[in-house]
């Protein structure tokens, strides 16, 4: 007999498993990441549209799993939709920003490791994407994700020597965990240059200008940090970049 758990969850990934089943990666508010199989919900007939659970949908989830079986799939037994992510209707940037956040969340958090504050931040992001500039909202969420997972970069002084960053160009090393001053920079192989205009936004400086170019630079730096720290890019990074480079309406 499995242990039955009720929680609030957001669907981070959705894989078709068979004609009638889906495997879902659900980020639960109290229970962290949960890999669940949903049987018999992907039903669609000629007279009835398919009624699967959508990506980035929030719902009240009930699932069961055998004790000590965290590595295996749990079984989703009930899903009551709380809210749908509207980002898809707000353009490609918003939609891929939402998917990027979901992807990085599933990469950065451990199975069954609870992060209720992060859950709330992700829910807030999904709500905001229809009203706020999507990339700026994503940058704020990624900073939260990095804080929660202990990977906040050092962006106010040199991560190598602790000294001030005064001369340009400024470099950043993910492995070192932050900015590098001109004296330290030559010693590091893994590094990239930083657009100084992105820094006020990333350090939460008062009056930081959130114009599009600065926001894009800030996102680039966080994306680089995440990719280097995790050893892998986001599956939707390229799609998000393509959407960003398209001319606006
Ligand atoms: Zn230094």
Residue predicted with more confidence, 2 or 162:
162
- CA 143 from chain center: how many Å? 10
Q: What is the pTM of this model?
A: 0.92
Kindly give the distance from the C-alpha atom of residue 174 to the centroid of ligand 1, in angstroms, as a whole number: 14
- CA 240 from chain center: how many Å? 13
Of 65, 84, 103, which marks where a domain is finished? 84
- Give the side-chain half-sphere CA count within 13 A for 236: 21
Kindly give the distance from the C-alpha atom of residue 179 to the centroid of ligand 1, in angstroms, as a whole number: 8
pLDDT tens-digit map of 111-170: 999 999 999 999 999 999 988 899 999 999 999 999 999 999 999 999 999 999 999 999
Whether 71 and 193 map to the same domain: the answer is no
Whether 35 and 66 map to the same domain: the answer is yes
Kindly give the distance from the C-alpha atom of residue 164 to the centroid of ligand 1, in angstroms, as a whole number: 8
**Sequence-distant contacts of 198-203: CB under 8 A, at least 24 apart:** 199/155, 199/170, 201/139, 202/139, 202/143, 202/153, 202/155, 203/155, 203/156
| Residue-level pLDDT at 177 | 97
pLDDT tens-digit map of 110-121: 999 999 999 999
pLDDT tens-digit map of 185-205: 999 999 999 999 999 999 987
The helix (H) or strand (E) run that includes residue 225 is: helix 212-230
CATH number of 189's domain: 1.20.1440.120
Kindly give the distance from the C-alpha atom of residue 178 to the centroid of ligand 1, in angstroms, as a whole number: 10
Is 43's pLDDT higher than 80?
no
Kindly give the distance from the C-alpha atom of residue 148 to the centroid of ligand 1, in angstroms, as a whole number: 26
Whether 15 and 114 map to the same domain: the answer is no
Of 84, 107, 129, which marks where a domain is finished? 84
Whether 78 and 112 map to the same domain: the answer is no
User: What's the average model confidence in pLDDT over 32-56?
Assistant: 73
Whether 74 and 190 map to the same domain: the answer is no
Q: Is 191 left (phi over 0), alpha (psi -120 to 50) or beta?
A: beta
| Residue-level pLDDT at 49 | 44
| Residue-level pLDDT at 52 | 75
* Of 105, 169, 164, 162, nearest in space to 138 by CA: 105
Is 21's pLDDT higher than 90?
no
Of 54, 84, 114, which marks where a domain is finished? 84
| Residue-level pLDDT at 153 | 97
Kindly give the distance from the C-alpha atom of residue 112 to the centroid of ligand 1, in angstroms, as a whole number: 38
Kindly give the distance from the C-alpha atom of residue 208 to the centroid of ligand 1, in angstroms, as a whole number: 25
Whether 76 and 96 map to the same domain: the answer is no
Query: Are 42 and 15 a contacting pair, CB within 8 Å?
Result: no
| Residue-level pLDDT at 17 | 78
Whether 133 and 20 map to the same domain: the answer is no
Whether 212 and 100 map to the same domain: the answer is yes
Supply the range of the domain harboring residue 186. 92-245
The rounded distance, in Å, linking the Cα atoms of 56 and 116 is 17
List Cα–Cα distances, 142 to 67, 108, 170, 210, 218, in angstroms. 33, 11, 22, 16, 10
Whether 173 and 57 map to the same domain: the answer is no
pLDDT tens-digit map of 48-103: 444 678 899 999 999 999 887 667 899 999 999 998 888 778 889 999 999 999 99
- Say which residues have a Cβ less than 8 Å from residue 140's Cβ, sequence separation at least 6: 125
Whether 126 and 223 map to the same domain: the answer is yes
| Residue-level pLDDT at 70 | 67
The pLDDT-based confidence of 18 (bands split at 50, 70, 90) is confident
What is the Cα gyration radius of the chain? 20
| Residue-level pLDDT at 224 | 98
Whether 74 and 100 map to the same domain: the answer is no
CATH number of 54's domain: 2.40.50.140
Whether 170 and 62 map to the same domain: the answer is no
Residue predicted with more confidence, 44 or 101:
101
Structural domain total, the chain: 2
Kindly give the distance from the C-alpha atom of residue 198 to the centroid of ligand 1, in angstroms, as a whole number: 20
């Amino acid at each position: 007999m499995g242990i039955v758990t009720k929680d609030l969850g957001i669907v981070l990934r959705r894989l078709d498993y068979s004609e009638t089943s889906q495997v879902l990666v659900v980020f639960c508010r109290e229970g962290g990441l949960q890999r669940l199989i949903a049987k018999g919900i992907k039903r669609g007939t000629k007279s009835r549209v398919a009624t699967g659970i959508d990506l980035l949908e929030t719902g009240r989830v009930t699932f069961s799993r055998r004790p000590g079986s965290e590595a295996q799939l749990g079984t989703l037994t009930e899903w009551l939709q709380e809210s749908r992510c509207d980002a898809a209707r707000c353009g490609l940037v918003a939609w891929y920003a939402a998917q990027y956040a979901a992807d990085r969340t599933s990469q950065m958090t451990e199975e069954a490791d609870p992060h209720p504050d992060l859950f709330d931040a992700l829910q807030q992001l999904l709500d905001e994407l229809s009203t706020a500039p999507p990339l700026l909202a994503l940058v704020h969420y990624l900073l939260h994700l990095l804080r929660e997972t202990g990977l906040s970069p050092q962006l106010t002084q040199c991560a190598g020597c602790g000294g001030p960053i005064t001369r340009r160009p400024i470099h950043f090393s993910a492995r070192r965990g932050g900015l590098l001053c001109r004296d330290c920079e030559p010693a590091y192989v893994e590094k990239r240059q930083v657009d100084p205009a992105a820094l006020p936004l990333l350090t939460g400086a008062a009056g930081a200008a959130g114009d599009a170019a600065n926001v894009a630079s800030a996102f680039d730096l966080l994306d680089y940090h995440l990719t280097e720290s995790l050893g892998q890019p986001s599956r939707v990074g390229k799609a998000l970049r393509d959407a960003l480079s398209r001319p606006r309406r």
